[in-house]
Structure 1
Amino acid sequence: MNGNKRADIKIGQHVAIVLKQDQRSGKRTEGVVQAILTKSATHPHGIKVRLKSGAVGRVKEILE
């Protein structure tokens, strides 16, 4: 499932994000959602989240 809808993403979920510095390469970082940062219901590039590791990026795939 992609990460374009805020309603699909829950705190504690395992997701794959793309960090700002990795947007060109598309390299994904996996982790557990600590906070949902995007306020709007949807976003065309993915909902922005903070992982428990502290990494911030846009959700590209919900893994769980």
Structure 2
Amino acid sequence: MDGTKRADIKTGAAVYIVLKEDQRTGKLTRGIVKDILTKSPTHPHGIKVRLESGAVGRVKKISAPEAVDD
């Protein structure tokens, strides 16, 4: 599932995001959603979120919670 629809993303969900500094390379960072920052219902580049680690980026992929390693 991609991360372009706000309704698909919930606080506590396991996601893969692209950080601002990684936009050129497309490197993914995984984590758990702490806050959803995008207010609009959709965004073509992905919904912006803050992870529990404090990292901020746009969701590229939503995964199962057990897929995230701490």
**TM-score (ref. length: structure 1):** 0.99
Give the greater-gyration-radius structure (CA). Answer: 2
Uncovered stretches (5+) of structure 2, i.e. residues with no partner: 65-70
**TM-score (ref. length: structure 2):** 0.91
CA displacement 1:3-61 (0-9 Å, x = unmatched) = 00000000000000000000000000000000000000000000000000000000000
Uncovered stretches (5+) of structure 1, i.e. residues with no partner: none
Indicate the percent of aligned positions where both proteins have the same amino acid.
72
**RMSD (Å) for aligned C-alpha atoms:** 0.3
Partner of 2:68: none
SS of residue matched to 1:49: strand
Task: Report how many aligned residue pairs link the two structures.
Answer: 64
Partner of 1:10: 10
Q: List, as ranges, runs of 4+ consecutive aligned residues in structure 1 with deviation greater than 2 Å.
A: none
Alignment of 1:8-47 (within 5 A): 8-47=8-47
Partner of 1:58: 58
